[in-house]
Amino acid sequence: MKTQSVAPRSGSPLALSVPLGIFFVGFVLVPMLLLAYVSLFEDMEMTRHGFSQYVKFLSDGFNLGILGSTLLLGLKVSILCTLLGFPLAYLYVQIPGRWQGPLMLLIVLPLLTSSVVRTFAWVVILGRQGIVNTAMANLGWIQEPVKLLYTPGAVAVALAQIELPLMVLPLITALMNCDRNLRDASLALGAGHWRTFWKITVPLSMPGLLAGGLLVFASSVSAFVTQTLVGGGQQIFMPYYMYQQAIQANNYPFAAAIAMLLLVCVLAVVVTVNALGRRNSGFVHA
Amino acid sequence: MNTLNSTSAVSVRVDGIHHRYAGSVALESISLDIEPGELVALLGPSGCGKTTLLRIVAGLVGQTRGTVRIGNDVVDAMPTNVRGAGIVFQNYALFPHMKVEANVAYGLRARGVSAGEASATARRTLDMVRMSAFGNRYPRELSGGQQQRVALARTLAVKPRVLLLDEPFAALDKNLRLDMQIEIKRIQRELGITTILVTHDQEEAMSMADRIAVMNAGRVEQFDTPEVIYDCPATLFVATFIGTANLLPGNLMARDGFYEVACEGGGALKLGQALPFSEDGRVVVAARPEHLALTTQSDITLPATVEMVLPMGPSFVYELTLSDGRTVKVTQPRIADLPRYAAGDRVGLSLRAGSPAGVFSA
């Protein structure tokens, strides 16, 4: 009744979305188009139009290697987050309600601290005189400090910790939507806990798993600060490569082309995974 | 060979079950002996613990104390998946990501039956519940009644020793409910499978069950056949929960060969027997509308005034008020030689000859 009386006064409800629409056009769409436009110049002075920046990137093995290692990093972090996040989300759904509040706080805590702070924490943990090396030395496992920081593994682990909430939160939602009776029905039909987990729980939490995986992937391939600080100078990923070309080499067209290519790659992954997910998600809320 | 014929029905014995849930007592000393092939209904208001008891039998909830036996086995230490108790849930709990046939074959596959054999058995079981045409559908594409048939087939496909039904008809509309009650009763008879049915619907329990366990606040109030439960309720709760009962408080006195209850508002009721309670003192008589008769007033009747007469098909329903303002409902068969009364008539109430009436301590 209330909404009916309000609707005629404010005109079409579509009007309510105008401010957000203007914001999106002004601060998302226009910069994107500008970026695409800049990437279509052939020279650094931006005088001639052409596709040479894209040709230059795609014909050079060094550049393709950077793109490949960036996407691989996203994949590694997504897998790590799945392996760490699923047990955590499962634990959250299983424990009594009074423990869920404190656990949720622990889960979202990484989101409440700045990523620079979290990254420096990992630098401290993994450094030559860091907690891990000191502990292993004290236990007599190693004589010399092991190189942990500035390795691909360190970047993946640090990013997995930082992005973990993005995986756990959608997973918790998916698991909560899952009828408990389905698990009980599976047990009563003679299936063990593992079979029930793989045949019932995992398929039904797939939408959350895919959503979480995409969020983790998209944010870890573009996590400039963590990639750069934990990865050090030896490993170059796409975001740092962009920064280098734009700020240090002043080559804006090439930097824009790198940005466009990363954007296209991430979009391709998102669209593919979403299409896969749509085939599965029909039954979830049936 | 028809693999759906059960090998031999087993008994279920629940012995001294106590269950505490979050500090409060959910079930208290529940003992039931269920015969092989019997259909027993656990009947009670919501929150009486009937579903908890069913889940304890299935092994989905562990009891605090007491034992459950299925056949000759004590199953307390057995996890759900090896107990052989098949359960049909109130919301059916069909696996939404599997087609109907895969749902029915699921339990067989879990028991290591080959894919071909499992789907053959699944199709036979679906045939039994008249759902063979729907094997290729997803559960969400089926109506409530069809989903229930599939849920039943999925449970029966693994040939459980005991069939547990948790409010199986609650989600169905009234016409469909009756059809499914008949259908499930037919299948249960055919297979001769020991069955426990949880319900809050007394008509459902009356029409389906061989015996009914009436539960209230975590206890079994009475465990007997539907006839005995209706005619000779063991407690005041059973008398009021099952059917309609007029409650008449008064003083019980043993007379020569019979009992008399001097009612609070004046007048008396003559009882042939005063079961299950038979000591002199303050009591409540629970008399069903059809167990009371209307006569002329005398010193061994209750004086009452007719307030309303409802001619309802084969019987008349009279609403009367007693001298203390209490209302009483009486049904009289529509027989020509019984006198009929109109609103305003002053009559005497007595217990129909041979009719049971429960007498409970007040």
Which CATH number characterizes residue B62's domain? 3.40.50.300
- Cα–Cα distance list, B99 to A207, A286, B140 (Å): 19, 13, 9
Tokens linked to B298:
């005398």
pLDDT of res. A1: 39
| Mean pLDDT of the A175-190 span | 91
For A279, name the nearest residue in chain B, comparing CA atoms only: B97
A190 touching B (Cβ < 8 Å): yes
| Mean pLDDT of the B302-318 span | 88
Query: Nearest-CA distance from A75 to chain B in Å?
Result: 27
pLDDT band at B92 (very low <50, low <70, confident <90, very high): very high
| Pick among B97, B138, B158 to test the A interface (most A CBs inside 10 A) | B97
Partner residue opposite A187 with nearest CB, options B81, B91, B97? B81
Asked if B239 and B360 count as a contact pair (C-beta separation under 8 A), the reply is: yes
Chain centroid to CA A130: 27
Reported pTM: 0.79
For A282, name the nearest residue in chain B, comparing CA atoms only: B97
pLDDT of res. A88: 94
pLDDT band at B360 (very low <50, low <70, confident <90, very high): confident
What residue has token string 């389905």? A182
Q: Which of B156, B179, B177 is nearest to B167 (CA)?
A: B177
Report the half-sphere exposure of A121 (CA within 13 A, side-chain side): 12
Task: Tell me what the pLDDT averaged over chain B comes to.
Answer: 88
Same-domain pairing of B204 and B133:
yes
Residues of B in contact with A184 (CB under 8 A): 55, 58, 60, 80, 87, 89, 93
pLDDT band at B123 (very low <50, low <70, confident <90, very high): very high
Q: Which of B346, B335, B218, B239 is nearest to B285 (CA)?
A: B239
Same-domain pairing of B198 and B287:
no
pLDDT band at A141 (very low <50, low <70, confident <90, very high): confident
User: Is B242 domain-assigned?
Assistant: no
Element (H, E) at B334: none
| Mean pLDDT of the B69-95 span | 91
Burial A262-279 (b: 16+ CB within 10 A, else e): beebbeebeeebeeebee
What residue has token string 């070309």? A245
Cα separation, A222 vs B174, whole angstroms: 59
Q: Which of B236, B270, B299 is the last residue of a domain?
A: B236
What order of strands is seen across the sheet that includes strand B315-322?
B292-295, B346-351, B302-312, B315-322, B327-333
Same-domain pairing of B86 and B154:
yes
| Mean pLDDT of the B88-112 span | 93
Partner residue opposite B86 with nearest CB, options A188, A200, A286? A188
| Mean pLDDT of the A78-102 span | 93
Cβ pair B158:A189 closer than 8 A: yes
pLDDT of res. A280: 65
Same-domain pairing of B66 and B120:
yes
Helix, strand, coil percentages for chain A (3-state, nearest 5): 75, 0, 25
Q: Burial-class residue B219 by CB neighbours within 10 Å (0-12, 13-18, 19+).
A: middle
pLDDT of res. B3: 41
Same-domain pairing of B91 and B157:
yes
Same-domain pairing of B229 and B281:
no
Task: Tell me what the pLDDT averaged over chain A comes to.
Answer: 87
Angle (nearest 5°) at CA A190 between A189 and A196: 85
CATH 2.160.10.10 for domain A62-281, yes or no, is no
Tokens linked to B277:
């309670």
Same-domain pairing of B209 and B294:
no
A18 touching B (Cβ < 8 Å): no
pLDDT of res. A3: 43
User: Is B191 domain-assigned?
Assistant: yes
Cα separation, B155 vs B129, whole angstroms: 12
Cα separation, B207 vs B1, whole angstroms: 32
What order of strands is seen across the sheet that includes strand B194-199?
B85-88, B162-166, B194-199, B39-43, B211-216, B219-224
Same-domain pairing of B308 and B214:
no
Residue A5 identity (one-letter amino acid): S
pLDDT band at B1 (very low <50, low <70, confident <90, very high): very low
User: Is B316 domain-assigned?
Assistant: yes
What backbone torsions phi and psi does residue B41 show, to the nearest 5 degrees? -100, 135
Same-domain pairing of B252 and B192:
no
The two beta strands, B73-74 and B246-254, are: unpaired
User: Is B6 domain-assigned?
Assistant: no
Q: For chain B, how many structural domains are there in total? A: 2
pLDDT over 90 (residue B145): no
pLDDT tens readout for residues B50-72? 999 999 999 999 999 999 999 98
A192 touching B (Cβ < 8 Å): yes
Cβ pair A184:B81 closer than 8 A: no
Residues of B in contact with A281 (CB under 8 A): none
Cβ pair A189:B154 closer than 8 A: yes
A202 touching B (Cβ < 8 Å): no
| Mean pLDDT of the A268-282 span | 80
Cβ pair B95:A186 closer than 8 A: yes
Interface of A with B in 133-152 (CB under 8 A): none
Residues of A in contact with B111 (CB under 8 A): 190
Residue B247 identity (one-letter amino acid): L
Beta-carbon contacts of B282 under 8 Å, excluding residues fewer than 6 positions away, are B249, B250, B251, B252, B361, B362
A130 touching B (Cβ < 8 Å): no
Chain centroid to CA B287: 20
Residues pairing with B39 in the sheet: B195
Asked if B166 and B88 count as a contact pair (C-beta separation under 8 A), the reply is: yes
pLDDT over 50 (residue A5): no
Beta-carbon contacts of B129 under 8 Å, excluding residues fewer than 6 positions away, are B149, B150, B152, B153, B156, B183, B187
Q: How many CB atoms lie within 10 A of CB A15?
A: 9
Cα separation, B237 vs B31, whole angstroms: 19
User: Is B3 domain-assigned?
Assistant: no
| Pick among A177, A178, A179, A189 to test the B interface (most B CBs inside 10 A) | A189
Tokens linked to A11:
């005109």
pLDDT tens readout for residues A204-235? 998 899 999 999 999 999 988 888 888 887 78
pLDDT of res. B338: 79
Q: Burial-class residue A5 by CB neighbours within 10 Å (0-12, 13-18, 19+).
A: exposed
pLDDT of res. B7: 56
Q: Is the dihedral of CA B9, B14, B20, B25 positive or negative?
A: positive
CATH number for position B289: 2.40.50.140
Asked if B63 and B19 count as a contact pair (C-beta separation under 8 A), the reply is: yes
DSSP class of residue A146 equals: P
pLDDT band at A132 (very low <50, low <70, confident <90, very high): confident
pLDDT over 70 (residue A277): yes
Q: Is the peptide bond before B276 cis (omega within 30 degrees of 0)?
A: yes
Q: What is the 3-state secondary structure (H, E, C) of A105-130?
A: HHHHHHHHCCHHHHHHHHHHHHCCCC
Q: Which domain holds residue B265?
A: 248-361
Partner residue opposite B110 with nearest CB, options A181, A182, A191? A191
If one compares B298 and B98, the residue with the highest pLDDT of the two is B98
Q: Which of B185, B203, B236 is the last residue of a domain?
A: B236
pLDDT over 70 (residue A2): no
Asked if A145 and A133 count as a contact pair (C-beta separation under 8 A), the reply is: yes
Cα separation, B230 vs B329, whole angstroms: 17
Cα separation, B194 vs B13, whole angstroms: 11
Query: Nearest-CA distance from B221 to chain A in Å?
Result: 29
pLDDT of res. A10: 54
Out of A26-35, B204-213, B270-279, B331-340, pick the least confident.
B270-279
Cα separation, B50 vs B202, whole angstroms: 14
Tokens linked to B76:
């307390």
Same-domain pairing of B133 and B168:
yes
Cβ pair B86:A283 closer than 8 A: no
If one compares B352 and B199, the residue with the highest pLDDT of the two is B199
Tokens linked to B250:
């008064």
pLDDT of res. B2: 39
pLDDT over 70 percentage in chain A: 94
Residues of A in contact with B154 (CB under 8 A): 185, 189
A280 touching B (Cβ < 8 Å): yes
Residue A213 identity (one-letter amino acid): G
Asked if A118 and A154 count as a contact pair (C-beta separation under 8 A), the reply is: no
Q: Which of A182, A226, A227, A187 is nearest to A205 (CA)?
A: A182
Asked if B348 and B302 count as a contact pair (C-beta separation under 8 A), the reply is: yes
Helices (H) and strands (E) in chain A, counts: 16, 0
pLDDT over 90 (residue A102): yes
pLDDT over 80 (residue B109): yes
| Mean pLDDT of the A139-157 span | 85
pLDDT band at A104 (very low <50, low <70, confident <90, very high): very high
pLDDT tens readout for residues A6-39? 445 556 788 888 999 999 999 999 999 999 999 9
Q: What residue spans define the domains of chain A?
A: 62-281
Same-domain pairing of B227 and B81:
yes
Cβ pair A182:B80 closer than 8 A: no
Q: Which of A123, A114, A220, A116 is nearest to A167 (CA)?
A: A220
List residues of chain B with CB under 8 Å from any CB of chain A.
55, 58-60, 79-82, 85-87, 89, 91, 93, 95-97, 106-107, 110-111, 138-140, 154-155, 158
Residue B174 identity (one-letter amino acid): K
Residue B290 identity (one-letter amino acid): E
